[in-house]
Amino acid sequence: MRSEIISVTTGSRETVHDITRECADFVRAQGGDGLLHIFVPHATAGVALLELGSRSDDDLLAALRDLLPPDDRWRHAHGSPGHGRSHVMPALIPPYATIPVLDGRMALGTWQSVALVDLNVDNPQRQVRLSFLSD
């Protein structure tokens, strides 16, 4: 298995950050067939496969705001208001995804992208581990 870590700056607001290009570059360098595993070693971020660029990212953030309001209801209460919801979010959007790779290319659907989802405005720097398991 080959693995590398990429750094992602998510900034100081909730974000759905496209990492498709970085994932594609990584698997292209590996070549051949296998599996790409994407893992975010943070308790407050997740990985989603969805259409980006058509405001789906805005829809996802709106849905998460509805499901996990950024208010003072959370028992986990350090950090910015509503920080506790960031710790619940990975149960809905897991911190990992696995994608088939065929001939050095991710076998994503036509409109699928790979995104880092981060609601934690207190931590603007994230790491993402990309691992490739060849056949």
pLDDT in tens, 80-129: 777 889 999 999 999 999 999 999 999 999 999 999 999 988 888 999 99
**β-bridge partners, 39:** 96, 129
Domain boundary assignment for the chain: 2-133
pTM of structure: 0.94
Q: 2-133: what CATH class?
A: mainly beta
pLDDT in tens, 3-40: 999 999 998 899 999 999 999 999 999 999 999 999 99
